[in-house]
Chains A and B, each alone.
Chain A
Amino acid sequence: MKRQKVLLLWSLVYVIYGFIFCYLPLAGWLMAFENYKPKDGFFHSQFIGLGKFKQLFVDDGFLRVIRNTLAMGVINLVVTFVAAIVFAILLNELKSQGGKKVVQTISYLPHFLSWIIVTGILHDALSGTGIVNDLLLRFHLLKEPLNFFAHPKYFWGIVAFANVWKETGWNAIIYLAAIVAIDTNLYEAAAIDGAGRWARIRYITLPGIKPTIIILLLMNAGNVLNAGFEVQYLLGNGLVQSVSQTIDIYVLKWGISQGDYSLGTAAGVFKSVVSIVIILIANGMAKRAGEERLF
């Protein structure tokens, strides 16, 4: 105890930080249960119980944004996850150290671009005169330029692609680190026993990084409902709004723009609660399977 005094003091700093910035704002959830008016403030607004939640669930618009959020969340999770693991393994198999470094650096740089830039590039590339249409026309895959952003059916795909492009390199770093930590003796032994590349990936690399995969999957599962705000907000337009709007955009639209802070808070509360439930379920499943887990 005595020896840990300084450490405890240190951690106290972070407890205070967490309390101020993570727990204190939760008091704002109170807004979801009242008819909040900025003029009356927190304590004098009319208390209405679950009224705002009822309003949410009879609104077709809200049910639609839940669908969109879940769909895009799951698609993004699966696609970016698989892409990162595959990419890390491929990169690890590269023999040339120099080439590996170059590829790795180039591939993780997009992570540092802000979404406004990424969506700007996408908007240009996919526009009627952009590079994608240009290529498709030249290869005679299309007769007329295709306006990708005018068709709801392409939207989720575009968002998933944007996520993969931006985050694959970055996400792969952690898997690469895990792969490096695998005992090289295992590979040598396997090679002597006649295991080829595929077999080594399958029986050594993948099992070796399994704990990392599971932990990251668990953590990301809680983020499914954070399917994004900027991408959808910046790429969306009137034509695709029925598939592009997420819960976050809904909160912005009704909570901030229309000044119905209570409704916005209620939607936010709903999102948080569902996220916690998803994490609990995923954690429970991991526990039952005897795998690594968060808690």
Chain B
Amino acid sequence: MKRKQFTALLLVGAVIMSTLSGCSMGASSKGKNAAKNDGGIKEFTYFVAVPGNEINDDNEIQQKIAEITGAKVKETWLTGQTAKEAVGTLIAGGEYPDFICGSEGSSQLYEAGALVALDDYIDKYPNIKNFFTKTEWESLRQADGHIYWIPQFNNSYGKEMETTHNDEAFWIQTRVLKWAGYPKVTTMDQYFDLIERYQEANPTMPNGTKNIPYTILCDDWRYFCLENAPLFLDGYANDGSCIVDPETKKVIDYNTTPTAKVYFNKLNQEFKKGIVDPESFTQKYDEYIAKLSTGRVLGMIDQWWDFYNTVNDALKQQGLEDLGCNYVPLPITIKEGVQSRWHTSGDTVNVGSGISITKDCKDVEGALKFINDLLSQEVINLRNWGIKDVDYMVDKDGLFYRTPEIRMQVTNTGYKASHMCTYSYFPIYSGMSQDNLNANKPEQQPNEFLSSLPKNVQECLEAYNSKNYIDMVGRNEIPGPWYPIYTFVGTMTTATPGGTTWIKMREIKQEYLPKVVMAPDFEEGWKEYMKVYETCNPKAFLDEVQPEVDRRIELSEKAAQ
């Protein structure tokens, strides 16, 4: 009897020990910093606070890159949370992966002291050092004078080769334009008029499902698809959270401009006509993407990066490309004569976020060496193009190209997970590559870009005399040295009245803008919205942005001297 009890106790003890060790094992796997596996390959962890696709553990190109660089990185992505929630949770837990990209939550990581200052290291890594100019590195310094993150994107090695409008626009399916004989569409009224006419003539898809003329994504932070169009409609470039007038250098609130009222009034009318998808304001992001993937949605406002990846691949795999379901951007403004500035060219460094190394990383130099190695041309080609003769071919002039079969294969989700490894949230070059012949990215290779386009899109671009997506909306220079000011607004916190106001503004707009669009009486709804909007005192927000605009202008003037 005694013995039985004793054994039982031992068992309980064993169970507890195993749970406890389970805990600590979980913790150590999180901070498994630069643990070496058998092949001498270092393993790092990376959390990216944006949604992304995880690749398989035995991914082929990842393995190849590991052989070259001596390291591999296990990436995890945002799921079901906002960036700030995920980052806030990490901070509260106090344990970090080796690499982190905080996205919207970057400033929180900085304030929590979670990041390693990189400025002392940068000089030792030539590829990293050359990634930015001196002025650009300076602009990355935080309030304490140190650099904590390296922005990954918008960086051309050679000349800029941009082909896609990787920004916001009024998008429309090519079939709508084709049906109307490729008319000139430049105003909001023309845009909706076209959609209305098309919808009346073609209410369904060939398979009988109903078309959705216009949908609005409004899920959490992605409600920009509803709210910030007034800025573009008035012909301003995407400063994000407010207008910065290039003439007066003054900050303007785009929520209360006359154009804003006209725009929402239009949406209200279209909603009543049944053109605006009645589920717009209650759909979740994945429902929205699923809708676009069926090819039923004729048009919407969105950022290219927010939908193209999943949607274009889905359209391709289902053969919907041949029906003209792909989207092209249009240079829409509020009225004729206003210059469209939906697209700005030139490398703009997003100083608000980038890849960081956390204080939990035991091998900072190894981590930086990995970033450095990823920027060598050999690895860039592996990341962007894949393996030679498998994922791309080289013609007699040394130009890279893909066959239609390869193109089909590289859009296959399973293949992407088991074979392709882009390390997409590590610093990457675009534009012309070091061989001065090929673009760093397949979609920027002129011949590859054109032949990879669906026939309908090719035809459409030709009809508008465009070589690529950007020509559809027109190129513009960056309006000024403050641009884009949203990189500052992203770092505002509740510590200041302006930061608190910014959150309240968003909260009010998320509730009232849908109400305004759905209001039986628009004037009434707008009046109510404006009344509530004023209560959060938007001026407090604008007053904090203005000094930053001034500071950035001053900084650039100083640098120019």
On A, residues with C-beta under 8 Å from B are 6, 9-10, 13, 37-39, 61, 116, 123, 127-128, 145, 147, 149-150, 237-239, 241-242, 252, 254-261
Q: Which of B91, B218, B278 is within 8 Å of A237, CB to CB? A: B218
| B282 / chain A contacts, CB cutoff of 8 Å | 127, 147, 149-150, 237, 239
Mind listing 25 A-B residue pairs with CB under 8 Å? A6-B9, A9-B9, A10-B9, A13-B16, A37-B111, A38-B94, A116-B80, A150-B278, A238-B513, A239-B281, A239-B282, A239-B514, A239-B515, A241-B507, A241-B510, A242-B511, A256-B84, A256-B88, A257-B82, A257-B84, A257-B85, A258-B88, A259-B88, A259-B108, A260-B494
Contacts known (A38-B112, A241-B511); A258 close to B493, Cβ less than 8 A: yes
B536 to chain A, nearest CB (A): 11
Among A6, A61, A242, A258: residue with most chain B CB under 10 A: A258
In angstroms, Cα B16 to Cα A134, docked, is: 53
Among A61, A128, A237, A259: residue with most chain B CB under 10 A: A259
Among B88, B219, B278, B514: residue with most chain A CB under 10 A: B88
Chain B residues 482-519 with CB under 8 Å of chain A are 493-494, 503, 507, 510-511, 513-515, 518
Are A13 and B88 in contact (CB-based, < 8 A)? Answer: no
Residue of B nearest to A258 (CB): B494
Q: Is B189 in contact with chain A by the CB < 8 A criterion? A: no
Which 8 residue pairs are nearest across A and B when measured between Cβ atoms? A238-B510, A256-B88, A38-B112, A39-B113, A149-B282, A257-B84, A259-B108, A239-B514
Q: Is B89 in contact with chain A by the CB < 8 A criterion? A: yes
B120 to chain A, nearest CB (A): 20
Are A147 and B111 in contact (CB-based, < 8 A)? Answer: no
Are B493 and A237 in contact (CB-based, < 8 A)? Answer: no
Q: Which of B16, B88, B281 is within 8 Å of A238, CB to CB? A: B281
Interface string of B283-294 (1 = CB under 8 A from A): 010010000000
A52 to chain B, nearest CB (A): 12
| A145 / chain B contacts, CB cutoff of 8 Å | 278
| B9 / chain A contacts, CB cutoff of 8 Å | 6, 9-10
**A9-B9, A252-B85 known, 12 other contacts, Cβ within 8 Å:** A6-B9, A10-B9, A38-B113, A128-B279, A145-B278, A149-B282, A150-B518, A237-B282, A238-B511, A238-B513, A258-B494, A261-B92
Q: Is B223 in contact with chain A by the CB < 8 A criterion? A: yes
Q: Is B5 in contact with chain A by the CB < 8 A criterion? A: yes
Contacts known (A150-B514, A259-B493); A6 close to B5, Cβ less than 8 A: yes
Among B219, B223, B278: residue with most chain A CB under 10 A: B278
| B279 / chain A contacts, CB cutoff of 8 Å | 127-128, 147
On B, residues with C-beta under 8 Å from A are 5, 9, 12, 16, 80, 82, 84-85, 88-89, 91-92, 94, 108, 111-114, 218-219, 223, 278-279, 281-282, 284, 287, 493-494, 503, 507, 510-511, 513-515, 518
Are B111 and A239 in contact (CB-based, < 8 A)? Answer: no
Are A150 and B281 in contact (CB-based, < 8 A)? Answer: yes
Residue of A nearest to B94 (CB): A38
B525 to chain A, nearest CB (A): 13
In angstroms, Cα B532 to Cα A48, docked, is: 32
In angstroms, Cα B499 to Cα A260, docked, is: 12
B504 to chain A, nearest CB (A): 8
Among A38, A39, A242: residue with most chain B CB under 10 A: A38
B520 to chain A, nearest CB (A): 13
Are B511 and A256 in contact (CB-based, < 8 A)? Answer: no
Q: Which of A37, A127, A237 is within 8 Å of B281, CB to CB? A: A237
Residue of B nearest to A127 (CB): B279
| B108 / chain A contacts, CB cutoff of 8 Å | 259
Among B9, B282, B510: residue with most chain A CB under 10 A: B282
Residue of B nearest to A146 (CB): B278
A155 to chain B, nearest CB (A): 11
Contacts known (A9-B9, A128-B278, A261-B92); A239 close to B511, Cβ less than 8 A: yes
Residue of A nearest to B506 (CB): A238
In angstroms, Cα B223 to Cα A150, docked, is: 15
Residue of B nearest to A260 (CB): B494
Q: Which of B12, B111, B511 is within 8 Å of A13, CB to CB? A: B12
In angstroms, Cα B279 to Cα A127, docked, is: 8
| A150 / chain B contacts, CB cutoff of 8 Å | 278, 281-282, 514, 518
| A9 / chain B contacts, CB cutoff of 8 Å | 9
Are B223 and A238 in contact (CB-based, < 8 A)? Answer: yes
| A255 / chain B contacts, CB cutoff of 8 Å | 88
| A10 / chain B contacts, CB cutoff of 8 Å | 9, 12
In angstroms, Cα B474 to Cα A92, docked, is: 73
| A258 / chain B contacts, CB cutoff of 8 Å | 84, 88, 493-494, 503
In angstroms, Cα B494 to Cα A39, docked, is: 16
| B113 / chain A contacts, CB cutoff of 8 Å | 38-39
Are B218 and A238 in contact (CB-based, < 8 A)? Answer: yes
Are A38 and B494 in contact (CB-based, < 8 A)? Answer: no
B247 to chain A, nearest CB (A): 34
A39 to chain B, nearest CB (A): 4
A182 to chain B, nearest CB (A): 35
In angstroms, Cα B88 to Cα A254, docked, is: 10
| A147 / chain B contacts, CB cutoff of 8 Å | 278-279, 282
Are B89 and A256 in contact (CB-based, < 8 A)? Answer: yes
A281 to chain B, nearest CB (A): 32
B208 to chain A, nearest CB (A): 14
| B494 / chain A contacts, CB cutoff of 8 Å | 254, 258-260
B228 to chain A, nearest CB (A): 15
Are B278 and A256 in contact (CB-based, < 8 A)? Answer: no
Residue of B nearest to A238 (CB): B510
Residue of A nearest to B111 (CB): A39
In angstroms, Cα B282 to Cα A237, docked, is: 6
In angstroms, Cα B287 to Cα A149, docked, is: 14
In angstroms, Cα B111 to Cα A37, docked, is: 8
In angstroms, Cα B69 to Cα A112, docked, is: 46
A46 to chain B, nearest CB (A): 13
| A123 / chain B contacts, CB cutoff of 8 Å | 284, 287
B397 to chain A, nearest CB (A): 52
In angstroms, Cα B452 to Cα A108, docked, is: 52
| B284 / chain A contacts, CB cutoff of 8 Å | 123
In angstroms, Cα B491 to Cα A85, docked, is: 52
Residue of B nearest to A233 (CB): B80
